[in-house]
Amino acid sequence: MDGRLLSALTCPECRGELGFAGDEEGGWPVSGELRCAECGLVFEVSDGVPVLVVPGTDMDGAQWEGKERQLAEWVPRNFQRALQPDRVPAPLHKFVETARATEGIVLDIASGPGGSYCVETMRDGPPTGLLVMSDLGAPVMQRWRKHLREVGWDSRCSNMGLDARRLPFRDAVLDALTSVGGFSNIVGNRQAYAEASRVLKPGGPLMEVVRLYEEGGPTHRLLTEQGQVATTWCDYEAFLNESGFSVTSCELLNQGRGKTDPNDGLPVGDEAWEHRVVFAVRQ
């Protein structure tokens, strides 16, 4: 973890001050612990990856322990895929370039084994700001950290285990926030969007690839009953406005009908869906 992030962090439980004790290399904390001065919670830092998840958190499918073999295959494969020519679709060029050019902290939510578009952002060297890959599943971030070190990219970004519903950052401290479908995979994602609003500086961009479904269809009804955001475009845009964001642009990325993956639970039936690239600004 880049040592410059320490001043931006706070306890995800009580927002108290965090103090680091442990070993550093070149100003990067690599092993030790972050301890809250207020509530006393201790968060481990191992191999350069802090895990800032409150004990007892509902992991809602982010349990990766015991799946290290799969991660060891997926992460290098997805890294190489990200380096392929013309990998970034035209609607995402602005997404990547904005993230790369941002001064300050850029946090990617739910980077996962796929890495979001973080590899493309740091492809030609360290980004202008501090790029942070994150995921609730700490083993995913530990595997990314190991692979980035192996290919000599370890200084190009930081990796962090965190819960997007309890972001371990101070108010209005992030300069940009990105996600490629990450919010859609978070149970209780209304709280995750509220946290995004809290930690972004006024004028800071939220750049997201969001999946949307048919108005009034079974998936729309199911997700609405579950209290999830991003079910239809109208619901999603209205919620962002209520949460302090203003949508500045929206572009269709791709669309289809039914399941693209048999293991994917959504959409529920034979329904139309679409992915949109959305830019919003924190008001």
Helices 138-150 and 68-82 cross at an angle (nearest 10°) of: 50
133: confidence class by pLDDT, cuts 50, 70, 90: very high
Residue with the larger pLDDT of the pair 270 and 151:
151
- pLDDT surpassing 80 at residue 5: yes
Weakest-pLDDT range from 70-74, 141-145, 267-271:
267-271
User: Given pLDDT bands bounded at 50, 70 and 90, which one contains residue 227?
Assistant: confident
CATH match for 66-282 among 3.40.50.300, 3.40.47.10, 3.40.50.150, 3.50.50.60: 3.40.50.150
d(CA 79, CA 208): 20
Q: What is the pLDDT of residues 24-59, one digit of tens each?
A: 998 899 999 999 999 999 999 999 999 999 999 987
More confident residue, 30 or 260: 30
Instruction: Name the pLDDT band for 61 (thresholds 50, 70, 90).
Output: low
Q: Which amino acid, 177?
A: L
- Provide the b/e sequence for 148-179 (b: ≥16 CB within 10 Å): beeeebbebbbbbbbbbbbbbbeeebbbbbbb
- How many C-beta atoms lie closer than 10 Å to residue 73's C-beta? 12
pLDDT reading at 93 higher than 70: yes
pLDDT above 80: residue 62: no
Mean pLDDT across the stretch 105-130? 95
pLDDT at 260: 74
Angle of helix 189-199 versus helix 233-242 axis, rounded to 10: 40
Q: What is the pTM of this model?
A: 0.95
What confidence score (pLDDT) does residue 64 get?
Answer: 80
- Average pLDDT score over residue span 99-115: 96
- Quote the tokens at residue 120: 């493309």
Residue that wins the pLDDT comparison between 157 and 262? 157
Q: What number is the average pLDDT over the span 96-118?
A: 96
Q: What is the mean pLDDT of the chain?
A: 94
